Amino acid sequence: MSKSYYVTTPIYYVNDKPHIGHAYTTLACDALARFKRLDGFDVMFLTGTDEHGQKVEAAAQNAGITPQAFTDTVSQNFRDLTKSMNFSNDQFIRTTEPRHYAASQKIWNRLLERGHITLGAYEGWYSVRDEAFYTETELVDGKAPTGAPVEWVAEPSYFFNLSQWQDKLLDFYDANPAFVAPETRFNEIKSFVKGGLKDLSISRTTFAWGVPVPEDADHVMYVWLDALTNYLTAIGWSEDGEGDFSTRWPADLHMVGKDILRFHAVYWPAFLMAADLPLPKRVFAHGWWTNEGQKISKSLGNVIDPLSLVEEFGLDQTRYFLMREVPFGRDGDFSKSAMIQRVNSDLANDLGNLSQRTLSLIVKNLDGAVPAIASKLPEADKVMLDAVDGLLDRVRKLFEEQAFHEALRIIWEQISNANKYIDSQAPWALKKTNPERMAEVLGLLAECIRQFAILLQPFMPEATAKLLDQLNVSSSDRGFDKIAGLARLTSGTVIEKPSGVFPRYFEDTAR
Ligand code: MSP
C-alpha cells in the first residue's frame, strides 16, 4: 500500500473575497500535493473556509443578511478560486457542516473530561480582526501588535489550562527540531512559550455565531478551537469508525502564513496533547506578499485579485511566478515588471523556445520520429544527461523542506544548460554535415525536455500536460517512476508539429 501524505491549508475567513495571500497558501500546498502524488503517495490535500466568529457575524450584519446566507455566498467564492487556480484539493471543508460541529464538541468534551477546562470570567483585550486575545503589555499604541484595533471584553468564559503545557511543549520542540520551519520562526515560538503561557479563554457569550459549547447554551466555542479542529473533522474523526483518521492522522504538514503560526505551533499542539491525540509532524510558516513595495490592505485599495493576474498573464505563468519569485518562507514583493520578466525570460525564452526548437527540428528533419538515446554518449552529453537524471532526488529533498523556489531554480539551471547545449551543437546545421549527430543531439534534448515537463507538473499542470502531449508521452507514463534514468522517451515515437506553450507577454500600451 502506498504511504499516506496529509497536507492542509489554513481555512479561510469568509468575511471577504479571496486575494493573493489566500491563493498563495493553497498554491504551495497544491504543488506539494501534486508532487507527492507523482511520487507515489496516497495524498489527502485539505482546504476550506472558517465560517464562525465575531468578524464573520459582523460582516453578515453589515451585508444585512443572516450569517448562514452570508457564509454560503462567500465560501462559494473560495471554492470557485480552487477551480480557477487549478487546485487539486481532495476536500473542501466548511466549519458550518454538521460533521464539524460534532468534531468540535467531541474535542471540547475530551478536554473537559480530562480536567483541562474550567469556568471563569475573562477580562481583557480582544481583537475581532485577528480573533485573538491580547494582554495589556502586548499592545502597541493601544492596538494589537498586528495593528488591528482591540476592544475591552468582560464576560463569563471557559478556560483551557494552557499554562500547564509550557514544559511539555518545550520538551516536544526539543525532541522534534523540524516541527516548525523556517528556523527563525521556530525560535520565536520557543521564546514565546519560554516567556510563560496564560490560560486561554475558549468560549464567548456576547455573540452567537459559533459552535455551541456542549451543555451550556450561553456560550459558543472560541473560533480558533473550532477552526483548528477542522483538520480532524475532515478525516472523519467525529464519525463512527473514525473514517480515515487512523491512517491519516497525524497530519504531515500544516501550511500557514506567519501571522497564524502561534495558533498552530502553540495552542493546537497543547489542545491535542490535552486531548491525548498525536501531534502534527510539521508546521511551515510562509511570508507575506506586498504590492509594489506596499503592505496589501483594503484601505489602501491595493489588494491583488489572483484571478486578474491569471487573466492578464495566464494561469500557469501566475502559479510559476508565485512559487519562483520569492524564497518560500520569506516576505516578498509583487511587481508587474518582475512578473513580465519571469513570463518572458524563464518561460517563453528558456523553456518555451527550447522545446519549440527541439520538437520543430525533430518534425522538420526527422519526419517527427523521436531518435533513441545513443547507448554510448560523448562525455559532454553524458554529463548533461546525468545532471538531469539527478534532479529528482535533489528536488525531492527540497520539497521535504518546502523550498519550492529552490526546486525551480535548480530545474532552471538544467534548462539553461540545455539551451547552451542546443546553441553550441547547432543541430539545425548538422542536417547536411552530420545527420547522425543531429539525431543524437535532438534525442538527448527531447529526453531532457520530457524530464523537465514531468518534474514541473506540480507547478504548471496545464502547460506541462501540453508539452507531454506534444512529446506523445501517455498519461500513465508521467509519474516520477518514469524519470531519473528509470525510463526513457520511447524512440521512434512520432510527434506532430508543435505549437508554442508559453506565449510572450506584450505590454498593451492602450491598457
Ligand atoms: N481563519 C484563519 C485560519 C484558521 S486555520 C485553522 C485565518 N484566515 S485568513 O483568511 O485570515 O488567512 C488565511 C491565510 O492567508 C493565512 O495563512 C495568511 O497568512 C494568508 N495571507 C493573508 N494575507 C497575506 C498576504 N498578503 N501574503 C501572504 N499570505 C497572506 O487566518
Indicate the pLDDT class of residue 492, thresholds 50, 70 and 90: confident
Minimal-distance CA residue to ligand 1 atom 10: 12
Q: Is the model's pLDDT at 480 over the cut of 80?
A: yes
In the reported structure, the alpha carbon of residue 19 is separated from the centroid of ligand 1 by a whole-number distance in angstroms of 10
Task: Order across the sheet with 117-127: list the strands.
Answer: 132-134, 117-127, 151-160, 200-201
Pocket test residue of 8, 24, 52, 300 for ligand 1, highest count of atoms within 8 A of CB: 24
- Taking CA atoms only, the protein residue closest to ligand 1 atom 24 is 21
Q: Is the CB of 25 under 6 A from ligand 1?
A: yes
Q: Specify the residue with its C-alpha closest to ligand 1, atom 18.
A: 257
pLDDT (tens digit per residue) in 417-473: 999 999 999 999 999 999 999 999 999 999 999 999 999 999 999 999 999 999 999
- The predicted model scores a pTM of 0.96
> Which residues form the domain of 347?
336-482
Total domains in the fold of the chain: 1
Query: Measured from the CB, is residue 41 less than 6 Å from ligand 1?
Result: no
- Report the residue among 19, 22, 284, 303 best suited for mutation to probe ligand 1: largest number of ligand atoms under 8 A from its CB: 22
CB of 260 within 6 A of ligand 1: the answer is yes
| Ligand 1 contact, 222 CB (< 6 A) | no
* Distance between Cα 286 and ligand 1 center (Å): 10
Q: Are 260 and 251 in contact (CB under 8 A)?
A: no
Name which of 136-140, 229-233, 261-265 the model is least confident about. 136-140
Ligand 1 pocket check for 259: Cβ under 6 Å: yes
Query: What percent of the chain is modeled with pLDDT above 90?
Result: 89
Task: Please give the Cα distance from 257 to 55 (Å, whole number).
Answer: 19
If DSSP states are collapsed to H, E and C, what string results for 455-466?
HHCCCCHHHHHH
Is 288 a pocket residue for ligand 1 (Cβ < 6 Å)?
yes
Task: Give 175-188 pLDDT, tens digit per residue.
Answer: 999 999 999 999 99
The Å distance, Cα 130 to ligand 1 centre, comes to 10
| Alpha-carbon distances, residue 329 vs 216, 281, 318 (angstroms) | 42, 18, 18
Question: Does any ligand 1 atom lie closer than 6 A to the CB of residue 125?
Answer: no
For ligand 1, atom 17: residue with the closest CA: 257
Ligand 1 centre distance from Cα of residue 148 (Å): 14
Is 170 a member of any domain? no
CB of residue 52 inside a 6 A radius of ligand 1: no
Q: Taking 90 as the threshold, does the pLDDT of residue 300 lie above it?
A: no
Q: At what angle do helices 435-456 and 379-389 cross, to 10 degrees?
A: 10
Residue 98 confidence (pLDDT): 96
pLDDT in tens, 8-40: 999 999 977 899 999 999 999 999 999 999 999
Evaluate whether 247 touches 278 at the Cβ level (below 8 Å).
no
Q: Is residue 451 part of a domain?
A: yes
Pocket test residue of 25, 51, 253, 286 for ligand 1, highest count of atoms within 8 A of CB: 25
Q: Alpha helix locations (H) across 315-434?
A: 315-324, 336-341, 354-366, 379-389, 391-400, 404-425, 427-433
At residue 332, what are phi and psi to the nearest 5 degrees? -150, 160
- In this predicted structure, what is the pLDDT of residue 1? 64
- Give me the mean pLDDT over the 292-316 stretch: 90
- pLDDT at residue number 509: 55
Amino acid 240: pLDDT: 72
Structural domain contains residue 459? yes
The answer as to whether 510 is a domain residue is no
Confidence of residue 381 (pLDDT cuts 50, 70, 90): very high
Q: Rounded to the nearest whole angstrom, what is the distance from the C-alpha of residue 244 to the centroid of ligand 1?
A: 27
* Secondary structure class of 181 (helix, strand, coil): strand
- Which CATH number fits the domain that encloses residue 474? 1.10.730.10
pLDDT digits (tens, 9 = 90+) for 72-88: 999 999 999 999 999 99
Ligand 1 contact, 15 CB (< 6 A): no
Residue 511 has pLDDT above 60, yes or no: no
Higher local confidence (pLDDT), 203 or 302? 203
Looking from the CA of residue 259, the nearest atom of ligand 1 is 19
Counting DSSP H helices and E strands in the chain, the numbers are 21, 16
Which atom of ligand 1 lies nearest, measured to the CA of 258?
19
In a domain, 58, yes or no: no
How many Å lie between the centroid of ligand 1 and the Cα of residue 288?
Answer: 9
CA of 14 to the centre of ligand 1 (A): 11
**Atom 5 in ligand 1: which residue has the minimum CA distance?**
10
Which conformational region is residue 497 in: left (phi greater than 0), alpha (psi within -120 to 50 degrees), or beta? beta
Q: Is 77 in the pocket of ligand 1 (CB under 6 A)?
A: no
Ligand 1 and 13: CB distance under 6 A: yes
| Cβ–ligand 1 contact at 256 (below 6 Å) | yes
pLDDT tens by residue, 218-250: 999 999 999 999 999 999 998 777 779 999 999
How much is the average pLDDT of 104-129? 96
Q: Which residues contact 232 (CB under 8 A, 6 or more apart)?
A: 103, 107, 238, 245, 249, 277
For the ranges 18-22, 123-127, 296-300, 367-371, which has the lowest average pLDDT? 296-300
25 within domain boundaries:
no
**pLDDT at site 301:** 85
Q: Is residue 232 part of a domain?
A: no
Does residue 100 lie in a domain region? no
Query: How many angstroms does the Cα of residue 400 sit away from the middle of ligand 1?
Result: 22
Is the C-beta atom of 22 inside 6 A of ligand 1? yes
Cell of 324: 519562483
What integer best gives the mean pLDDT of the chain?
Answer: 95
